Amino acid sequence: MKKRMVLYILSVLSTVITRSAMSQSATSDQPHPVPIVIDDFEEYDVGDLPSKWKRLRKRKLVPIDENYMRPNEKFTIVEEDGNKVVRVYSKGEAAHIIMANEDDGFDWDLRTHPRLRWDWRALHLPEGAHEDDDKYNDTGAALYVIFKFEGFIIKRPRAIKYSYSSSLPVGTVVDYGKLKVIVVSSAADGIGAWKTIERNVVDDYKTVFGKNPPDRPLSIRLWSDSDNTKKVGEADFDNIMLLPPKD
C-alpha cells in the first residue's frame, strides 16, 4: 500500500514540476501545491494507538489513551506484509478518532487542496445497517470532514460523512440536516479488498449543501459504529492525504 502511495505522490509531483517549469517564465504565481500526507501510520509501533489523533470529550479534543480504547471500541496499529495501517473495531458501540486542522500537524486549505484521498478495507460491516434509517443507522467504516459547528444553544457540526455502507449502493446521499452522508463504498460490491477513495471535497460540499464550503475544514474523523444493530464493524484505514486540483 505504501509503495502505491509513493508512486502516486511521485506522479503528482512530476506533473506539478512539469507545469511549474512551463509556466515559470510567464507567471509570478506561487508554486503549485504538493500533496499533504495526513497519516500513513508508519511512525507507530504495532499494537499501539495512533497517538497523533484525538477524541472528543465534553466538546473538547483530548489525547487518546488506553482508557479510551475499550474491548468493544478501539483503534489499533496493525502490520501486514511490512505495511502499517490503523484498524478500527466496534461491537455494539461507536468508535472515533479525530485530527484537527492546523493543531495536529497538517494545514488544510480547500483553495489549494480541494481533494481528499485515502485507502480503506472493510473486514466486517454491521449486518442489516442502513444509513437512511435511524433505527439501523450504523456504518462499519466512515471518514468525516467537519467544517464548522453551528447552533445557538446546542452546537452541531456541519459535516460530510463518507461511508462504507453495509447495504446502500455507491452514490447514495442521505440528508440529516447539517450532516450529509455520501456512500463511497458498499458491501454490495464486496468487502475484504483494499479500495482507494478520492473525493473533491469542494465539489461534494457544493452538491450536498448548495453553496461554497468554508476555506478551512475543522477536522477529519475516522469512524466505526454498530450501536444500533448491535453487530460488528471492523475496517482498516491507510494513506490519508490531501491533494491539489487536478488541473
Q: What is the pLDDT of residues 103-134, one digit of tens each?
A: 666 899 999 999 999 999 999 999 999 999 99
22-34: average pLDDT = 57
At residue 198 the predicted structure's pLDDT band, cuts being 50, 70 and 90, is very high
Percent of the chain with pLDDT over 70: 86
Q: Residue 12, exposed/middle/buried by CB under 10 A (0-12, 13-18, 19+)?
A: middle
Question: Rounded to an integer, what distance in angstroms lies between the CA atom of residue 2 and that of residue 39?
Answer: 11
Q: Residue 80: is its pLDDT beyond 80?
A: yes
Q: In Å, what is the CA distance from 84 to each residue of 1, 45, 122?
A: 9, 9, 16
CATH classification of the domain holding 102: 2.60.120
Report the amino acid identity of residue 48: D
Question: Rounded to an integer, what distance in angstroms lies between the CA atom of residue 164 and that of residue 170?
Answer: 9
Q: Which three cell numbers stand for residue 1?
A: 500500500
**Is-contact 99 52, C-beta < 8 A?**
yes
CA atoms within 13 A on the CB side of 216: 8
Q: Is residue 11 part of a domain?
A: no
Q: Is residue 6 part of a domain?
A: no
Number of domains in the chain: 1
Q: Is residue 139 part of a domain?
A: yes
Predicted TM-score (pTM) of this structure: 0.88
Q: Residue 79: is its pLDDT beyond 80?
A: yes
pLDDT at 67: 77
Q: Which domain holds residue 41?
A: 36-243
Q: Which residues have a Cβ under 8 Å from the Cβ of 93 and sit 6 or more positions away?
A: 70, 72, 73, 225, 226, 227
Lowest mean pLDDT among 68-77, 113-122, 147-156, 214-223: 147-156
